[in-house]
């Protein structure tokens, strides 16, 4: 009887009757369907083979055989015919291991495909991911800082007989695999990286006569792209969180490279929802101010009035809340008082920086309120700016504070650059606030100094093997340093295992941190020369500053299409510019 009913069901499907029944499901189904649509993963997956075998525990052929097969292109499918397989054998004393290099920092995990093994029981392997070769070779400990924070990078898993399994969700370039079950044989057909990313085109571009600057621009763009996951993260290994202050350089890079992407409003909305007033975003008062600054810059570049209108209530309430944190003419912000980690022990500098942040925030707030037609709040912002500008703190020898003061107009940019930012080159630079140091140098007219700083500081990471920019960096780290893409030779310093402070000590240090992408936005804004003058890029000014470059060319994304730009330095020192773009975008030169 059951067989007859099932047959009837299939027949009704064929006749089109059953689909009609599904159309009569209760309305709640539509709601669930719509909710699921909203939760669709915006990312795609790509499988990548290793670029090289960096290390293996045995080269005699006794414990590891035919490792080179892992460099072959694969299809992810287990097969009954055992061809081109790597063999790992363990005994009671030896656990064979191999270290693979996928050539570039990635976000995702790995896929392991096993062969037809005599013992059909599952067997255990240990997988270790690393942003550096030495991190992938490390164990979880309290000495060199290797952790499983935010993402599991060190795990023991089981592999099936004749199957494919995927493991991991982290940031990595290197993977070490060890057979840990004693007296077992593992036949591996493939080990492929599972690369998870948003398939969004690189609309903006930058190419100049300096290959080093070109690589720096591209590396900053890729660093942010890697962090454009479900939300806009700060790091793909650690700090897989929405840190709204850290997002500002990332968003300026997105504006310069990708144009509109929904990861930005989605992340801004998330941080607003989880931090209702009067709480500060991420518990940090300056980060709530960065939210306002981001709203201004996002609207300036993308021109989405409907999205800005949706922020009205929170924006106005936050501005009024910030006004209560002014005592006399000085900021008296509570919560965590923070600029960046490098300045966190210099309290006078933090006060100077927060004073400047308050001025810029109320400037942005007044602009946004006038766009929204709220003149009353805009005037209150103007009054707050007038009071705050009467108090000019000492930057306490801090490049961070001096940069913000220059950008806020509390100190002449030329003085900030001469007396603080340019002193010692990139000494006391930081990857996060380095962007604002560059911006202050541009305001001071020191474009050549900015180019030199970018080459030295961000280029220094490339010299050590970086394919993405780091959470922190100091040029002093380069002294006698080994590269992160090699096993550190004896007598050389392991940069990843040795350096770092605060929350990023040793291997906990993130080597793919979006807040470090500032040069990408800066090169587009000041060297390619794109300045957005009206919301939605309806009017842009193109004013290049080539410094010692012979030429620069590139593209810039606008809501109406791509603007193409090329600047060539002539023999007489003048610059010839060729610019074309959408009719909706007015270009001023």
Q: What is the pLDDT along the chain (589 residues), one digit of tens a residue?
A: 434 343 433 333 333 444 444 344 445 445 545 555 557 899 999 999 999 999 999 999 999 999 999 999 999 999 999 999 999 999 989 999 999 999 999 999 999 999 999 999 999 999 999 999 999 999 998 667 789 999 999 999 999 999 999 999 999 999 999 999 999 999 999 999 999 999 999 999 999 999 999 999 999 999 999 999 999 999 999 999 999 999 999 999 999 999 999 999 999 999 999 999 999 999 999 999 999 999 999 999 999 999 999 999 999 999 999 999 999 999 999 999 999 999 999 999 999 999 999 999 999 999 999 999 999 999 999 999 999 999 999 999 999 999 999 999 999 999 999 999 999 999 999 999 999 999 999 999 999 999 999 999 999 999 999 999 999 999 999 999 999 999 999 999 999 999 999 999 999 999 999 999 999 999 999 999 999 999 999 999 999 999 999 999 999 999 999 999 999 999 999 999 999 999 999 999 9
The stretches of 147-246 forming alpha helices (DSSP H) are 211-227
Q: Using alpha carbons, list the distances in angstroms from residue 124 to 65, 108, 173, 179, 229.
A: 19, 21, 23, 6, 30
**Pairing mode, strands 123-130 and 164-179:** antiparallel
CA gap 185, 227 in Å, rounded = 38
CA distances from 461 to 24, 219, 313, 458 (A): 61, 10, 43, 6
Query: Which residue has tokens 């000041």?
Result: 526
Alpha carbons 294 and 271: distance in angstroms, whole number: 12
- The continuous run of DSSP H or E covering 556 comes out as strand 551-558
Q: Cite the beta strand spans of 10-145 per DSSP E.
A: 44-48, 52-56, 64-65, 86-89, 97-114, 123-130
Tokens of 11: 């027949």
The DSSP letter of residue 96 is: -
Distance CA 437, CA 303 (A): 27
pLDDT of residue 14: 37
12: burial class by Cβ within 10 Å (0-12, 13-18, 19+)? middle
pLDDT of residue 37: 53
Pairing relationship of beta strands 97-114 and 185-197 according to DSSP bridges: antiparallel
Residue 25: what pLDDT?
43
Q: Which residues of 326-350 are buried (b: 16+ CB within 10 A; e: fewer)?
A: beeebbebebebbbbbbbbebeebb
In angstroms, what CA-CA distances link 476 with 67, 460, 480, 487, 499? 38, 10, 9, 20, 10
> Which domains can be identified in the chain, with CATH numbers?
2-40 (no CATH), 45-197 (2.60.120.260), 541-588 (no CATH)
Q: How many CB atoms lie within 10 A of CB 74?
A: 17
**Token pair of 216 as six digits:** 């720096």
Structure tokens at 302: 């993308």
**Inter-CA distances, 405 with 22, 179, 356, 522, Å:** 64, 56, 5, 19
Task: Confirm if 439 and 449 have CB atoms less than 8 A apart.
Answer: no
CA angle 186–125–142, rounded 5-degree value? 150
pLDDT number for residue 127: 98
Contacts of 88 (CB under 8 A, 6+ apart): 63, 64, 96, 98, 179, 185, 186, 188
* CA 437/CA 55 separation, integer angstroms: 41
Tell me which DSSP letter residue 493 carries: B
Q: What pLDDT is attached to residue 192?
A: 98
| Residue where the block lists tokens 């287990």 | 78
Q: What is the pLDDT, as a whole number, of residue 141?
A: 83
Cβ–Cβ < 8 Å for 280, 335? yes
The SS3 of residue 508 is: helix
The pLDDT assigned to 9 comes to: 38
**DSSP 8-state class, residue 234:** S
Instruction: Determine the Cα–Cα distance for residues 529 and 531; give it in Å rounded to an integer.
Output: 6
**Residue 152's pLDDT is what?**
95
pTM of the model: 0.93
pLDDT number for residue 92: 85
Among residues 433, 458, 438, 462, the alpha carbon closest in space to that of 448 is found at 438
Is there a contact between 114 and 160 (Cβ–Cβ < 8 Å)?
yes
């Amino acid at each position: 009887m059951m067989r007859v009913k099932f047959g009837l069901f299939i027949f009704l499907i064929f006749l089109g009757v059953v689909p009609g029944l599904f159309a009569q499901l209760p309305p709640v189904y539509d709601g669930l369907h719509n909710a699921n649509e909203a939760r669709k993963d915006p990312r795609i997956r790509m499988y990548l083979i290793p670029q090289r075998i960096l290390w293996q525990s045995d080269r005699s052929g006794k414990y590891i055989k035919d490792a080179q097969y892992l460099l072959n292109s694969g299809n992810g499918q287990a097969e009954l015919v055992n061809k081109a397989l790597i063999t790992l054998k363990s005994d009671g004393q030896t656990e064979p291991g191999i270290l693979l290099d996928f050539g570039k920092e990635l976000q995702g995990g790995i896929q392991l495909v096993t062969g037809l093994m005599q013992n059909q029981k599952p067997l255990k392997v240990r997988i270790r991911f690393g942003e550096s070769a030495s991190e992938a070779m490390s164990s979880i400990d309290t000495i060199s800082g290797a952790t499983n924070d935010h993402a599991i990078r060190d795990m023991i898993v089981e592999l099936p007989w004749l199957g494919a399994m995927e493991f991991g969700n982290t940031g990595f370039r290197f993977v070490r695999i060890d057979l840990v079950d004693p007296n077992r044989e593992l036949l591996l057909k493939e080990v492929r990286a599972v690369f998870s990313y948003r398939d969004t085109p690189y609309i903006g571009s930058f190419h100049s006569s300096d290959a080093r600057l070109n690589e720096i621009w591209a590396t900053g763009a890729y660093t942010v792209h890697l962090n454009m996951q479900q939300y806009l993260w700060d790091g793909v290994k650690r700090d897989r969180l929405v840190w709204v202050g850290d997002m500002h350089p990332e968003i300026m890079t997105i504006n310069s490279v990708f144009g509109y992407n929904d990861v930005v409003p989605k992340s801004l909305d998330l941080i607003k929802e989880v931090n209702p007033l009067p709480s500060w975003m991420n518990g940090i008062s300056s980060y709530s101010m960065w939210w306002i600054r981001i709203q201004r810059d996002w609207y300036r570049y993308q021109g989405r009035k409907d999205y800005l209108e949706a922020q009205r209530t929170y924006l106005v309430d936050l501005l009024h809340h910030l006004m209560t944190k002014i005592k006399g003419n000085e900021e008296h912000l509570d919560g965590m008082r923070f600029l960046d980690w490098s300045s966190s022990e210099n309290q006078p500098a933090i006060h100077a920086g927060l004073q400047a942040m308050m001025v810029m925030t109320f400037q942005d707030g007044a602009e946004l309120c006038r766009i929204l037609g709220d003149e009353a709040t805009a005037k209150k912002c103007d009054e707050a700016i007038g009071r705050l500008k009467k108090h000019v703190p000492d930057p306490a020898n801090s490049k961070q504070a001096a940069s913000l003061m220059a950008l806020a107009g509390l100190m002449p940019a030329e003085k900030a650059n001469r007396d603080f930012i340019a002193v010692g080159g990139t000494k006391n630079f930081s990857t996060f606030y380095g962007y604002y140091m560059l911006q202050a140098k541009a305001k001071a007219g020191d474009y050549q100094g900015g180019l030199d700083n970018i080459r030295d500081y961000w280029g220094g990471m490339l010299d050590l093997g970086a394919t993405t920019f780091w959470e922190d960096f100091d040029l002093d780290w380069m002294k006698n340093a080994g590269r992160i893409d090699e096993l550190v030779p004896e007598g050389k310093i392991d940069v990843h295992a040795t350096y770092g402070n605060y929350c990023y000590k040793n291997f906990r240090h993130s080597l793919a941190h979006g807040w470090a992408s500032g040069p990408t936005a800066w090169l587009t804004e000041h060297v390619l020369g794109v300045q957005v003058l009206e919301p939605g890029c309806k009017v842009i000014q193109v004013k290049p500053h080539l410094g010692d470059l012979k030429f620069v060319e590139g593209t810039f994304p606008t809501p109406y299409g791509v603007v193409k730009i090329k600047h060539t330095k002539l023999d007489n020192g003048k610059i010839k510019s060729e610019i074309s773009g959408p009719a909706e975008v007015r270009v001023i030169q």
